[in-house]
Amino acid sequence: MKAFPTVVQQAWQDREGPVVLATVAPDGQPNAIYASSVREYGDDLLVVADNYFHKTRANILAGSRGALLFITKERKSYQIKGGISYHSTGPIFADMKTWNPAKHPGVAAAALKVEQVYCGSERLA
Ligand SMILES: Cc1cc2nc3c(=O)[nH]c(=O)nc-3n(C[C@H](O)[C@H](O)[C@H](O)COP(=O)(O)O)c2cc1C
């Protein structure tokens, strides 16, 4: 993932547990979910499988940007912010289907563009 600084690529591979994905509704109401079905795609996308989204899906389809928070085994936290595209067909959807566990429906793939990267309050990219 070239948009990721190298240190963040390493941290992403070393992440522990589910990530947190935050979106916002048109009225400004924030919404945060845990997500386990996540994977990088190409140089600058982090994809979350939409298995059970409800408010998250509504927010994304209404144009929400997103923030994705993860923590490493060494207890360093990273936050990625960017626009989100929503794919229910096409190559990003097809890729999600190859790694999303078959027991989950995988109705779509939400792709967060890596536009800003933070470690704690420090901006890295
Ligand atoms: C540990 C954990 C992991 C989860 N992983 C996913 C996931 O990868 N994809 C998904 O659609 N929902 C996942 N969920 C469910 C969402 O966190 C959430 O309940 C769902 O999106 C509905 O909430 P919403 O209405 O705020 O979108 C997970 C829940 C937990 C507790």
- Tell which one of 19, 21, 52 to mutate to probe ligand 1, the residue whose CB is within 8 A of the most ligand atoms: 52
Say whether pLDDT at 81 is over 70.
yes
Closest CA to 98 of 45, 35, 41: 41
Q: What is the CATH number of the domain that holds 82?
A: 2.30.110.10
- Percentage of residues in the chain with pLDDT exceeding 70? 98
Does 1 fall in a domain? Answer: no
**Which residue has its alpha carbon closest to ligand 1 atom 18?**
33
* Dist. CA 16–CA 36, nearest whole Å: 10
Atom of ligand 1 at shortest distance to CA of 49?
9
The angle at the Cα of 57, spanning 117 to 115, to the nearest 5 degrees, equals 15
Residues 24-48 have a mean pLDDT of 97
Task: Kindly give the distance from the C-alpha atom of residue 90 to the centroid of ligand 1, in angstroms, as a whole number.
Answer: 23
- The domain total for the chain is 1
* Dist. CA 94–CA 111, nearest whole Å: 13
State the residue range of the domain holding 94: 6-123
Reported pTM? 0.97
Is ligand 1 within 6 A of the CB of residue 36?
yes
90-106 pLDDT, tens digit each: 999 999 999 999 999 99
